[in-house]
Amino acid sequence: MRCFSCDSISLEPVCKECTKDFLTPLMINKEIANLDVVSFFDYYLTVEFIKSKYITSGYRIYKFIAKKYFQPFIKNYIISLDSKKNIYLIGIDESVDRGYSNVALLTHYSAKNSNTKALHNVLKAKSRVKYAGQTLEFRLNNPRGFVYSGPKNIDVILIDDTITTGTTLEEASRVLKESGVNIHFALTVANAQEGVDY
């Protein structure tokens, strides 16, 4: 297989050199409406990888990111809790686009070997509005209209690909809390600190 970034021969979708050069975690923390959000990367430094969700081969990138970064992070967090509580992973709107859902991939592979369970397709957006490249005003005027159909009164970690303005996470968090869901934190691949995702 070839590296997604430099096209060199690689056993992984991203070779060791490109992983070192472009996918060294920064661990960016942000708080949105009393929800802690942890992001591994700066959006602008990893935009090539983030935008792979728009192409079929992006499947390999999101699986790689989930296994290499999300899964160990979540596993260590669960161990640190020293609790018998079940922790579930919920992806924000796992709708299928271009043959797969990048958020469903993150959720699925993050749950493997991390002592958590993925709850797929339980937090869906009624609106198919696209936020990429849109202003905060547009996002506020066009909510996603999330509907939660999963179990109530559970502990979860929210999963998403990118945080920009935080409106999606804030809306999703509110809907889950209305169902008695206790959100430990949200985990995203990247943080677009300027609030614009192109």
Considering the domain boundaries, does residue 14 fall inside one?
A: no
Reduced to 3 states, what is the DSSP secondary structure of residue 16? helix
The phi-psi region of residue 177 (left if phi > 0; otherwise alpha if psi is between -120 and 50; otherwise beta) is alpha
> Residue 114 maps to which CATH number?
3.40.50
Considering the domain boundaries, does residue 59 fall inside one?
A: yes
Distance separating the N- and C-terminal Cα atoms of the chain: 28
Considering the domain boundaries, does residue 134 fall inside one?
A: yes
Count CA within 13 A, CB hemisphere, residue 177. Answer: 12
Q: Output the pLDDT for position 85.
A: 84
Closest by CA position to 130, among listed 68, 184, 54: 54
Considering the domain boundaries, does residue 75 fall inside one?
A: yes
Considering the domain boundaries, does residue 38 fall inside one?
A: yes
Tell me how many domains the chain contains.
1
Cβ neighbours of residue 108 closer than 8 Å, sequence gap 6 or more: 66, 118, 120
Domain with 43, as residue range(s), is: 25-191
Considering the domain boundaries, does residue 17 fall inside one?
A: no
Residues 73 and 187: beta-carbon distance below 8 Å: yes
Q: Running along the chain, 198 residues long, what does each successive block of 10 average in pLDDT?
A: 94 96 94 94 94 91 97 94 89 83 95 92 85 72 87 96 91 94 97 63
Considering the domain boundaries, does residue 9 fall inside one?
A: no
Considering the domain boundaries, does residue 104 fall inside one?
A: yes
The strand pairing partners of 182, in sequence order, are 155
- Catalogue the E-assigned strands of the chain: 28-32, 35-42, 87-91, 117-119, 123-125, 146-148, 155-163, 182-191
